[in-house]
Amino acid sequence: MTEVPARIVQLADYWNRLAGGSAPERHLLDPAAICPLLPYVLLVDFEDDPFRVRYRLTGTKVDEMTGINITGRYLDEFAQGVFREPVESIQRCYLSSRDSGRAYIGTYLWPNDPGLMRLVWIGIFPLKLNGEIKQCLGIEDYGALGPHPDPVDWRVPLKGDI
């Protein structure tokens, strides 16, 4: 089994403490409590009709890895060519997390250079605004170039009930 990166575990533990494993209200977030994680963090808005993921705020490492500041952009804007499949997969993970109110931790492969894929770990942690899940706190850990790890069974809890 592949081990979940420490950054993602740290954010999962923090999110779980905010509301006992349920989606917390966004106003409970304290950026100072997760300061070392902020370069890897994304704050996203969920939109409906159709469902879309809009990047409200992205960390500096996220911008460095994408090569641009994606704040204000939509995830589905990047669903072109070799990026279509991973983007659609990521979008389904956001939708599932929004609909269930549960966190999601997993991996995806991102086309990096010709013939190479980058393994990216992702954590999606839904947030409520006035009692409704309208946003999420996300984190990405970009790992290294190489093959995808063996499949991980995410039905097995990691720390707490993520």
The confidence score (pLDDT) of residue 66 equals 87
Number of domains in the chain: 1
Between strands 116-129 and 41-47, the pairing is unpaired
The verdict on residue 1 lying in a domain is no
Is 46 inside a domain boundary?
yes
Residue 62 within a domain: yes
CA distance 122 to 137: 11
On whether residue 151 sits in a domain, the answer given is no
Q: Exposed, middle or buried: residue 123 (CB in 10 Å: 0-12, 13-18, 19+)?
A: buried
The domain that holds 76 is classified in CATH as 3.30.450.20
Banded pLDDT at 2 (limits 50, 70, 90): low
Tell me: the pLDDT tens digits for 70-121? 999 999 999 999 899 999 999 999 999 999 999 999 998 888 766 778 889 9
Residue 154 lies in a domain: no
**Phi, psi dihedrals of residue 42, rounded to the nearest 5°:** -130, 140
How open is the CA angle 25-105-47, to the nearest 5 degrees? Answer: 50
Q: Is residue 147 part of a domain?
A: no
pLDDT digits (tens, 9 = 90+) for 48-76: 999 999 999 999 999 998 889 999 999 99
State the number of CA atoms in the 13 A half-sphere of 125 facing the CB: 29
pTM for this model (two decimals): 0.86
The residue with tokens 């942690």 is 125
Domain coverage including residue 11: 6-20+37-141
Kindly state the percentage of the chain with pLDDT values over 70: 85
Tell me if 31 is assigned to some domain: no
Answer whether residue 60 is part of any domain: yes
- Eight-class DSSP state of 156: S
